[in-house]
Structure 1
Amino acid sequence: MSKKQSSAVKLSEGQTIPITVKRIGINGEGVGFFKKTVVFIEGALPGEEVVAQVTKVFPNRAEAKIKRIRKRSSDRIKPPCPVYDQCGGCQLQHMKYESQLKAKRDIVLQAFERHTKLGEKELPLQPTIGMEDPWGYRNKSQLQVAKQKEQVIAGLYGLNSHRLIDISECMVQHPSTNRVTQTVKKVLEDLNISIYNERKRKGIVRTIVTRVGFESGEIQIVLITTQQDIPRKQLLVEEIQKRLPEVVSIMQNVNGKKTSLIFGEKTLQLAGKEVIQETLGDLSFELSARAFFQLNPKQTVKLYDEVKDAAKLSGTERVIDAYCGVGTIGLWLAESAAEVRGMDVIKESIVNARKNAKQHGYHNMKYEVGKAEEWVPKWVKEGWKPDVIVVDPPRTGCDNILLETMIKAKPKRIVYVSCNPSTLAKDVSVLMKKGFTVEKLQPVDMFPQTSHVEVVCSLVLK
């Protein structure tokens, strides 16, 4: 067989192949090549030589699992979590933390090489900003509940399956969220409260959401239910209050739809306050049940300092904070800006944002419910032109209409905060064609032990 023919050999499911792993992929898997076909191998690390079994074949790639490691990476360690290999919530616990930070920088580099054709020499890509202690950093847990015989369990669906893995002590969660969720599970069990069965689509309580203020110590519980009425609701609330006196807010959110979305539209206050307080730097925030807030408060301060540095404000600029949530980024920039305007589609977030601005004594802030692509052209038409646009979109990146809106508004700077390097690189490619240049790319590790990486990208209009 000629060399050309051998390179075209098709892989088949179940086939065993030798592979040298080149790098980490965007989902935390090892990436290597077999006869010019790219293969993604779960749990493999760069530099390792493995024997892998093909599990899935696609036209342009294949997926595989490790059968045997012939040559181990010096970065490989034993994952400390007992359900690490089943849960799927973390992807890199088997890798030394310093190497995780290098791998995340490389994930950003790969995305930009693919979508912008810029390489390492042209990109102003910085080393990843990590954590001193990369454990116990998450301030919020959202765990599905189910019943196993008489026991109530709460957890996440297993990797590539629909089996619920009970997570009692998640190592990346703040210890308080673990403890509170465990107690709420026990209360539901003791009072025999109806638990949702996803297969039968029957039952009431479907998710326990627990949020803790790292600085304030305040804790909020949200029970997501399929209907508003919960039999023995008052007894349930009293029992939670008795066993968890530190909980200052007990809320209920109703979501009866067959959906992967956690929250429904209707939120009810069951006991205590409607919001909890959290502090970032010198700023304090009110957080309602559905309001978005960064999950890692310690790293958020580093992230927002990078945003402030990238915005380069002198006190005269008009700033837009798109996808503003409860207004955290806008507040971080407010004292250095002439005016900050933000928008978000979640009404409760805007209520919180307005309250937060007022509470801090800022009168140069304006928040509206809706999309940036609706508000920005309206403001520009009224003669209010932004100097800096800060955008922090969901994983899907910026809406095409929003990209066009930003290009038409011609701000001097765009500060793009991204949780997905691929969509960031795609959007930056569009902006570069319209006259923007990348000034700095700063990866920040918001989620240690996972493959996720946050990036602050500053772009300047030529």
Structure 2
Amino acid sequence: MAYSQQLVEKRDILIQALERHTKLDIEKLDIRPTIGMDDPWLYRNKSQFQLGEIKGNYIAGLYSINSHRLIDIPNCIVQHPATNKAVRVVKEILSDLHIPVYDERKRTGLVRTIVARVAVGTGDVQVVLITAKKDLPKKELIVAEIQKRLPEVKSIIQNINGKKTSLIFGDESLQLGGEETIQEVLGDISFELSSRAFFQLNPIQTVKLYDEVKTAAGLTGKEKVVDAYCGVGTIGLWLADKAGEVRGMDVVKEGIRDARKNAERLGLKNAHYEVGKAETVMPKWVKAGWRPDVVVVDPPRAGCDETLLDTILKTGAKTVVYVSCNPSTLAKDLNKLMKKYKIEYMQPVDMFPQTSHVECVSQIVLK
């Protein structure tokens, strides 16, 4: 489908979700045209490719739909070239050094997944080897070869995941070589990214998305802002120069550690971050007498937790900015928020060209 038409259809996906899950009068809603990308290719800054072995050859890619048949993907046209290259070269190094590949069926072997992330603003690359066991043979040799063949790799991490699970990352990470984090730049702000911290996958469109969040938040410099599901603090730090105080929370402790470091490095005294679930932390703040004026939520695909929605309704924050990556759960959550709030406008943003995914920034205000 031509890219211009993809943008039209993505807006329609949002409309269909609202029709299916809400009783809102769609005709009366201000749903704006989708903000697209100038060059909708080679944009994804992170890949998580499973490793496999076919007739002695190492392959890295993704599973065929509804199966455990691994498809080799030496080059992906929506992945940033630096991630394509990193996966290819690391796969060659593991093959050259005869490091055993994990076999999911037999539960034998060692290396399960190669994760590659590029900081588009700086060119720094991070490589994470997900292994089934902690003991990694020829560790120093692997690191030396990666650094020799891929000088752009500034961080080499091993993550251990021995569980029978579809989750990529385990709980334990070890720094094998280089730095623990890589530096990314968005607009005028730089961020430190550790291997497990969430960061938007399309940095070019992220700037457009966060500018939309800033517009929707309508800050004057005095507001108390909550950045729920904050990751490494990107949205809150984007808003901090126009806010009185920003408070963020996330369950990934590495992300919160990065968020605190990022705020400190930017000299922001008005941004505070806490480890925990949004639905647990926010009620605690409210109970202690701290009530937000603006709540920004950027939840996972499953949408917001019921308790968090209840807390938002109780706080009576004047503006809620809902950043959604799933129109269906957005629509369901809007149903609950509509008890006290109304939708001013909805702005779809295309973060994932050539796919059916669409993000949306909704400005929701107290009735």
When the two structures are superposed, what TM-score results if normalisation uses the length of structure 2? 0.99
When the two structures are superposed, what TM-score results if normalisation uses the length of structure 1? 0.79
Which one of 144, 150, 170 corresponds to residue 264 of structure 1? 170
Number of equivalent positions: 367
Which position in structure 2 is the counterpart of 1:448?
353
Is 1:294 the counterpart of 2:200? The answer is yes
| One-letter identity of the residue aligned with 2:169 | F
Which one of 408, 422, 430 corresponds to residue 314 of structure 2? 408
3-state DSSP of counterpart to 2:28: coil
- Per-residue Cα deviation, 1:65-90 (whole angstroms, up to 9, x for no partner): xxxxxxxxxxxxxxxxxxxxxxxxxx
Which position in structure 2 is the counterpart of 1:318?
224
3-state DSSP of counterpart to 2:27: coil
Q: Supply the distance in 1 between the matched residues of 2:341 and 2:25 (Cα, whole angstroms).
A: 17
Which position in structure 2 is the counterpart of 1:141?
47
Question: Identity of counterpart residues, as a percentage?
Answer: 66
The structure whose RCO (Cα within 8 Å, separation 6+) is larger is 2
Alpha-carbon deviation of 1:260? Answer: 0.7
Is 1:117 the counterpart of 2:23? The answer is yes
Is 1:151 the counterpart of 2:57? The answer is yes
Q: Does the aligned pair in 2 maintain the 1:157–1:163 contact within 8 Å?
A: yes
Map 1:9-24 to 2 at 5 A: none
Structure 1, unmatched stretches of 5+, are: 1-94
Alpha-carbon deviation of 1:166? Answer: 0.4
* Greater C-alpha Rg: 1
Which position in structure 2 is the counterpart of 1:108?
14
Q: Supply the distance in 1 between the matched residues of 2:315 and 2:6 (Cα, whole angstroms).
A: 38
Q: Supply the distance in 1 between the matched residues of 2:105 and 2:165 (Cα, whole angstroms).
A: 13
Map 1:366-377 to 2 at 5 A: 366-377=272-283
Is 1:438 the counterpart of 2:334? The answer is no
Which position in structure 1 is the counterpart of 2:133?
227
3-state DSSP of counterpart to 2:26: coil
Alpha-carbon deviation of 1:159? Answer: 2.2
Alpha-carbon deviation of 1:117? Answer: 2.0
Q: Supply the distance in 2 between the matched residues of 1:347 and 1:161 (Cα, whole angstroms).
A: 33
Which position in structure 2 is the counterpart of 1:398?
304
Which position in structure 2 is the counterpart of 1:423?
329
Which position in structure 1 is the counterpart of 2:364?
459
Is 1:168 the counterpart of 2:168? The answer is no
| One-letter identity of the residue aligned with 2:23 | K
Which position in structure 2 is the counterpart of 1:44?
none
Q: Supply the distance in 1 between the matched residues of 2:235 and 2:289 (Cα, whole angstroms).
A: 24
| One-letter identity of the residue aligned with 2:353 | P
Is 1:383 the counterpart of 2:289? The answer is yes
Q: Does the aligned pair in 2 maintain the 1:180–1:244 contact within 8 Å?
A: yes
Q: Supply the distance in 1 between the matched residues of 2:136 and 2:282 (Cα, whole angstroms).
A: 43
Alpha-carbon deviation of 1:160? Answer: 2.8
- Per-residue Cα deviation, 1:150-184 (whole angstroms, up to 9, x for no partner): 11100001123221110011000110110111000
Q: Supply the distance in 2 between the matched residues of 1:334 and 1:239 (Cα, whole angstroms).
A: 42
Q: Supply the distance in 2 between the matched residues of 1:189 and 1:403 (Cα, whole angstroms).
A: 50
Q: Does the aligned pair in 2 maintain the 1:210–1:220 contact within 8 Å?
A: yes
Which one of 129, 143, 146 corresponds to residue 240 of structure 1? 146
Q: Supply the distance in 2 between the matched residues of 1:317 and 1:193 (Cα, whole angstroms).
A: 54
Is 1:250 the counterpart of 2:147? The answer is no
Structure 2, unmatched stretches of 5+, are: none
| One-letter identity of the residue aligned with 2:65 | L
Q: CA RMSD in A?
A: 0.8
3-state DSSP of counterpart to 1:168: coil
Which position in structure 2 is the counterpart of 1:7?
none
Which one of 260, 265, 276 corresponds to residue 359 of structure 1? 265
Q: Does the aligned pair in 2 maintain the 1:322–1:372 contact within 8 Å?
A: yes
Alpha-carbon deviation of 1:265? Answer: 0.5
Alpha-carbon deviation of 1:409? Answer: 1.2
Q: Supply the distance in 1 between the matched residues of 2:25 and 2:279 (Cα, whole angstroms).
A: 32
Which position in structure 1 is the counterpart of 2:180?
274
Structure 1 segments (4+ residues) deviating >4 Å: none
Q: Supply the distance in 1 between the matched residues of 2:272 and 2:132 (Cα, whole angstroms).
A: 35
Which position in structure 2 is the counterpart of 1:308?
214
Q: Does the aligned pair in 2 maintain the 1:101–1:130 contact within 8 Å?
A: yes
Alpha-carbon deviation of 1:395? Answer: 0.2
Q: Does the aligned pair in 2 maintain the 1:109–1:119 contact within 8 Å?
A: no
| One-letter identity of the residue aligned with 2:270 | N
Bigger proportion of residues as helix: 2
Which one of 213, 233, 239 corresponds to residue 119 of structure 2? 213
Which one of 77, 84, 99 corresponds to residue 178 of structure 1? 84
Which position in structure 2 is the counterpart of 1:31?
none
Alpha-carbon deviation of 1:119? Answer: 4.0
Q: Supply the distance in 2 between the matched residues of 1:382 and 1:160 (Cα, whole angstroms).
A: 48
Q: Supply the distance in 2 between the matched residues of 1:439 and 1:116 (Cα, whole angstroms).
A: 16
Q: Supply the distance in 1 between the matched residues of 2:55 and 2:104 (Cα, whole angstroms).
A: 15
